[in-house]
Amino acid sequence: MDYRKLGHEITELVGKKDNIARLTHCATRLRFELHDISKAETEKLKALPGVITVVNNGGQYQVVVGNEVQQVYRAITQQMGSASRSEGSQSDSSNSKAPKQKQSWISRFISVISTTFTPVIPAIIGAGMIKAILAVLVLTGLVTTESQNYYILNTIADAAFYFMPILLAYGASIKFETSPILAMTVAGVLLHPGWSALMSEGKDVFFIGVPVRLTDYAGSVLPIIIVVWLMSYIERFAERVSPSMIKFFTKPMLVLLITAPLALVAIGPFGTYLNDLVAMGAEAINDRASWLIPLLMGTLQPFLIVTGTAWAMTPIATSQLTKNGYEMINGPGMLASNIAQGGATLAVALKTKNKKLKQLAASSGFTAVLGITEPSLYGVTLKLKKPLIAAMIGGGVAGIYAGLTGLVRYAFVSPGLAALPAFIGSNPMNIVHAIVTCLIAFVVTFALTWVIGFDDPVDDEERDNTKANHDEALSRQSVQNNPQGIQSSETTTATVTPHNKLRPLTIVSPLQGELVHLDRVPDDVFSLGLLGKGAAIIPAKGELYAPITGEVTAFMDSKHAIKINGYDGEEVLIHIGVDTVNLKGRHFESSIKVGDRVQKGDLLIRFDIDAIKAEGYEVITPIIVANSDRFPDMQLEEQGSVKVGTTIIYLSKQA
């Protein structure tokens, strides 16, 4: 995959780089915060090869790309001039402010948690996997808990959780647009050995006469998020009151001098109280109905992912892991749900007759059982619906078992077969219950999917045969629709050709005008060939005709761009002018719609060249073979004047 090309396309379709206020990524998705979300072209993004789907929830515009997310993220940040930033960090967009969109308090809360935790994920997953490996080493007797090797490895694994406030301070500073270094410094105050010493003494502590509650902030979540939120206002105050000549000194001094004492005296204890209150509520539910939370998580996890609310329980789970060494909020139910997604998707892979779906389901199903479900969810089960229902039922059934047996997770990893060691701990039966949970989730879901079935999409070859049956009627219709009387050098019927031969395909000029190279187009998307190879025409007459025989698969409401898929596999995109989408259909006329079958030479669009130029837009028109990588022998006609119907591009196809 060309990640540079995909990154460029995504950047353009979210409204260009100036519309990006913030960019982070998690395991499978790019998480944008946009200045103006109306500029994002969601349907075009969903149609991009390499993009699984787009989700707009929780205050973020999320582009799901699967396991290649890091490569795409790097490609985008390099184009934005911020390649030096670490993964998961804020992308530098001219210090622009985040969009102030009206959101419910739930959406704002989830947005805060998501943005805060996203940069931290690599650290806690890495630490969690070391914990899992350490559990295996202890179980197999290769390492003992009294050895120095165990002590050092355990220290490495514990570091991310002990210093969680410092890590979260960074993510929170990105969300609240304040200094990351100052935020992390305040978090360091909460974890300072001097503070730990005061706690060890057990004496009453006062600051300027105000009593200070001694609280252990190691591994805490909510206190530092609240502190950094308040600090963002204090920093603006310090910016405003500091004289410009000495601002370099006074601003950070004021921020630390005001924020740190407030954190120790009031905000930290309040945040800890909230944190403990929520954790106590979750544990009370678990004590009275241990099956309930895993059942809900196992059943509703796909819904939580789609709606962007899956982050809501993360602070509780993280807090439990830090304090207890295990958690039962996220891990057990997510394990059941992830394996169920894999079971449903692999059942689709075995049952479908559609070759593309079979390949997608096989790869994404394997990824799902390992613990990453977005490709499976968005690429297969959500689209087919019935397998998703089966996965939710299977996940719920397995979740009940996980809850009744008291299954817990000892490390923060994405639950799946690859992360089963994270369920090895002090209870030797815990890993057994985890394995049984996986078996229940997979078997129940696989069987349900197989029995209830799904609407199998028609394969491309079968669709081509269906199209061929309509060719005779299409030819008769073309006589009426073809005012130029253009004759095709190809037959419109899908003919059978020996597999060891190449057959020629041609694309004719859809316009009358001057044929030029793509590098003449004043738009990098076309001139650099990011959408594919092709040519361009400077039109002399405002009439656009079909350059191939096929089906209209995309047609903009603004009528300036159209895509036709030919029956021999060629995909041709024609874009009249540059940035003419801004005309919103003015000066364009057409009755074409998506799904129409057209014959080479059919009149598709009329447009007013003079009126378009008068509004300040170029009319140079790229003709792109969107899947030109399938035609390595593609050749272009020489530049110069062309008439409608003149061959401008030569292709060849292995039959």
For residue 523, give the nearest of 578, 603, 594 by alpha carbon. Answer: 578
DSSP 8-state class, residue 48: S
Helix, strand, or coil here: 505? strand
Candidate list 26, 433, 560, 587, residue with the active-site label: 26
Q: How far apart are CA 528 and CA 523, in angstroms?
A: 8
Judge residue 345's burial from the number of C-beta atoms within 10 Å of its C-beta, 0-12 exposed, 13-18 middle, 19 or more buried: buried
Q: How far apart are CA 439 and CA 137, in angstroms?
A: 25
DSSP 8-state class, residue 422: G
Tokens encoding 135: 């559990």
Helix, strand, or coil here: 32? strand
- Could you tell me if 475 and 599 are in contact, meaning their C-beta atoms sit under 8 angstroms apart? yes
Helix, strand, or coil here: 547? coil
Q: In what order do the strands lie in the sheet with 647-654?
A: 502-508, 647-654, 635-636
For residue 537, give the nearest of 518, 514, 560 by alpha carbon. Answer: 514
- Could you tell me if 572 and 624 are in contact, meaning their C-beta atoms sit under 8 angstroms apart? yes
Q: Which amino acid is at 29?
A: R
HEC per residue, 422-444: HHCCCCCCHHHHHHHHHHHHHHH
Q: What is the DSSP string of 80-134?
A: TT-TTSPTTSPP-STTPPPP-----HHHHHHHHHHHHHGGGHHHHHHHHHHHHHH
* Cβ atoms < 10 Å from Cβ of 201: 9
Active site residue 438: no
Name residues whose C-beta falls within 8 Å of residue 28's C-beta, 6 or more positions apart in sequence: 52, 64, 65, 66, 67, 69, 372, 374, 375
Active site residue 25: no
Helix, strand, or coil here: 453? coil
Name residues whose C-beta falls within 8 Å of residue 139's C-beta, 6 or more positions apart in sequence: 424
Question: Measured in Å, how far apart are the chain's first and last C-alpha atoms?
Answer: 24
Candidate list 8, 25, 433, 575, residue with the active-site label: 575
Q: Which amino acid is at 107?
A: S
Output the CA–CA distances (angstroms, integers) from residue 419 to 364, 375, 423, 585, 636, in the order listed.
17, 18, 8, 53, 52
Name residues whose C-beta falls within 8 Å of residue 365's C-beta, 6 or more positions apart in sequence: 341, 342, 343, 344, 345, 346, 348, 349, 376, 380
Q: How far apart are CA 268 and CA 436, in angstroms?
A: 41
Tokens encoding 518: 């793509």
Beta strand 571-575 pairing with 621-625: antiparallel
How far is Cα of residue 39 from the mean position of the Cα atoms in its chain?
18
Q: What amino acid positions are annotated as catalytic residues?
A: 26, 575
